[in-house]
Chain A
């Protein structure tokens, strides 16, 4: 029951915080309250508003409305410096560590030194070592940060916060960079810090961790709080439902075309992430003509790497990928093989300074009819643009409009129009509806359906479970670079999907269910 909690003093209260950026409402009257000694999990998908909320807490943004209360006092936080002064310590997902400085130097950066301007390296070093010993956080005070493992850097970030006397510690997706063996260590520290009277805000996607370590959980979806409850009262199913909402459409359009031709074949593929950690850990997938494979899963579990490997943009360290029997290096170069709708449509999918007609031929400009004998045929490029704009209902002033002036949805249509130009055998769409309004989302999903109906094989990667279920013919779940299992796109499978997102393989879930 909640009674015990109400008796615990309130440490932090973010009350009805609202923040928007232009027309995008990131946080809508979000209330978060953290008690002393409590580990409070903040759960939600990408774009749910978690990071904006934390940026407000850390003084990087000012809320449009709402209040922040600390220990029952109303405060305003104008900058990160003030946040630190209030005892709010943040361990960001992207570490705020200077790579070429040592651990000790990083810890004292920005702190008032005793004998200004001299650095008190010796004293700081001792205190750091002391703290590290107290909390059993292994760190080498003299090592430059770039030499430290990610787990070590994270420990350093925590120590940095403790060094400054943080009473409220915010951990943003801390387990993203940890090996499974290190996660236990992190949780131990969290419990120890909480038991000393600190408050901990633990931001995560991962349902299993939330249930493991937190006392209380608040779920955000699309900028709103969809639920806040003690963790012991939360089941994976309830949490998943809160994260996903109830917009799971049961409308399925034409039944999937069951083709026999394999378009995409992935066997035993391994690869590394940009950081050098394992990205894909043995992925096997087959996608056939005329079907949509939905890849669900929490962001950061290898989806990005998988897409890049298929497109030939990332080297494979083991295994094979074949797109219509061709290696990934040909995927983007040979026409008719791959249409790629990348995750970041503006940075990766479009050239903002170019106009619509140019963006529509980014992949095809080298071939007829758009060029002959090495020269571009602008007339044909323009005509093509006019035609595609009409076909895809792209709202823009005309083919010569700079693409940066288009809305997000229309920009995405440009990308899709381009990538489907050659009727490619395989289409990979990575988070294609991110940041789009409802109408645009509908258009994009319909366009993908049309491609499937044409006979293409479509891989649809999305963190939006409702969309995955509505669009896909088959659904697989990725976790830590592996495929956990495949389920039919049935809302009833939500529980199993949730568990797979937590890291349980389908086999073990089913075995558990039977027993």
Chain B
């Protein structure tokens, strides 16, 4: 029986097996991510209606020019940025605090992990539906806030007021995803060797100084990962805003790019214009990811 042999050295052999293992995910990525991106880029150069059987008309960059001149699109950019900044920064900070809190527990650690993580397993649609009931003027949110603040009968207009509805969407998203990022931070925190803390304690370092000068620097790769993931997640937000507007909330304050894109494609059937929006959103996401990598510089930490 003839044995199959690799040509070249060990390194080359390893590389070939590497290619074999990543091949399925490469195929998957090409079909479901890379091809749609290229297709959207191509479609964005045409005037194309979803239902029309007529061939699409090539209009060069007109869709992009239209969008850059459209006040509605700029409002969507504003809504997306406000939501992203208002959600991802607190999410990164609080998930780190929660992770530190859980790691420092000697008892009930598993319970807290489960409690924080459980909202992340719910579908976004279910989450938005639950929160719609909570934010109903007669719902729990008004009752709770009025009880705490001793302001009976005040309607805080969680879904009605332009500022409040933005805060409401941030709250929902924060509640849903903070547990997910907490778990990632817990993994990062537990991977820091205890011996470093022990050595520092012998040198007289207290808990607070240890957190600032040992934990935070050594947690840098995890922090970068979490902040990029959280930011991208926030830029892509859709279902909360969609369901809130279906539930009667005003659209303008929370008309994020993805919601505008959806309405342009599905309600107005303008798939060329919607594709242009998706490409702009893609570029924004790409830019911020690059910026975070650039500002973080080195993401490698050695213990």
Q: Do A and B truly interact? A: no
Interface residues of B (CB under 8 A from A): none
Interface residues of A (CB under 8 A from B): none
